[in-house]
Amino acid sequence: MKIVITGGAGFIGSNLARTLTERREISQIRVIDNLSTGNKENIADLDVHLFEGDIQDAALLERAFHGVDAVVHLAALPSVPRSVKDPLASHHANATGTLQVLEVARRAGNPHVIAASSSSVYGANRCLPKHEGLATAPMSPYAVTKLATEAYLGAYHHSFGLPVLPFRFFNVYGPGQCADHPYAAVIPKWINATLNGRPLTVYGDGTQTRDFTYVGTVCQVLTDALLRRVVEPRPVNLAFGHRITLLSLISEIEAATGLRAFKEHTARRVGDVTHSQADESRLRALFPRITPAPLQEGLRATVNWLSRADEHATPAPAGSRNDAASNQHALF
């Protein structure tokens, strides 16, 4: 099988590329990435072909999609605060970019297209757990772009017969996730702070809950979807319904690092979703063989990776150094 990963130099994409290079069924991996938030170093040791450029460039996509069996579309500007600061940039990369990927895919003979949407589409809908039948209520431009992503996949399935599978990722964490930039996610940020004896900033009282999924588990699901060519035009939550408070997460980080964490509480942020938990029924029905990695195991792997900090001093994404807003509790 020949596979394209858009956003393959990013956190989830590079983990997926690594997982797929170990599968004998996969003969070729092509990565498309403009390196806006990703990093070439993430895939430097892998046998993959990098098409450096933007997913809005149809000619580049045509070259990369020639003769492929499947496309895993992960390229996006993955940040809520970034989308609030510059909604058009997020729209271009995430919504228009997805449309371009689908257009070129259908002209390239309808490869299987798997794409990343996000739990942020549930937004202001307070029902728990979040099942895919709930009304969506995006609270940020980013969430709108992700809703557009999954809606376009469904539309291309119905209009052009494109075999698609849109996933709603929840909070994904693990090795390869940047810890040291303003949009860093909570787990790498807090592990890094703990390892370096710095305080952990907690917005509010820390009783908010999140449903974290280890990146290795996400890659297992994506690999299974590719190899069994799972097609489902309706969105599928990619999380296992394991809700944990941020305070409990801190205790788990203390256990994984063997270090005491120092909390610094600050005001709750406007627009922060209080609780998040996936209903995993549709995921379990489609992927009955996948068992998620326990949080403790995933945290240990992440701590090991971040402990080798010098090797992983990842530069901040382009244009982000002066942005004050932090993504850390956000739903991506």
Write out the residues near ligand NAD by the rule CB under 6 A. 7, 9-13, 32-38, 54-56, 74-78, 93, 97, 116, 118, 169, 171-172, 332
Q: Is the peptide bond before 129 cis (omega within 30 degrees of 0)?
A: yes
C-beta of 163 vs 176, nearer to ligand NAD: 176
Q: Kindly state the smallest distance separating residue 153's Cβ from ligand NAD, in Å.
A: 13
C-beta of 38 vs 123, nearer to ligand NAD: 38
b/e per residue, 255-278, with b = 16+ CB within 10 A?
A: ebbeeebeeeeeeeeeeebebbbb
C-beta of 157 vs 168, nearer to ligand NAD: 168
Longest dimension (CA), the chain: 55
Q: Kindly state the smallest distance separating residue 106's Cβ from ligand NAD, in Å.
A: 19
* Assigned token pair, 244: 């944990």
Q: Kindly state the smallest distance separating residue 236's Cβ from ligand NAD, in Å.
A: 13
70-73, strands of its sheet edge to edge: 49-52, 28-33, 2-6, 70-73, 112-118, 164-169, 236-238
C-beta of 8 vs 163, nearer to ligand NAD: 8
Q: Kindly state the smallest distance separating residue 310's Cβ from ligand NAD, in Å.
A: 20
Q: Calculate the CA 106 to chain-centre distance.
A: 24
Q: Kindly state the smallest distance separating residue 282's Cβ from ligand NAD, in Å.
A: 17
Phi/psi zone of residue 316: left (φ > 0), alpha (ψ -120 to 50 degrees), beta?
A: beta
C-beta of 156 vs 332, nearer to ligand NAD: 332
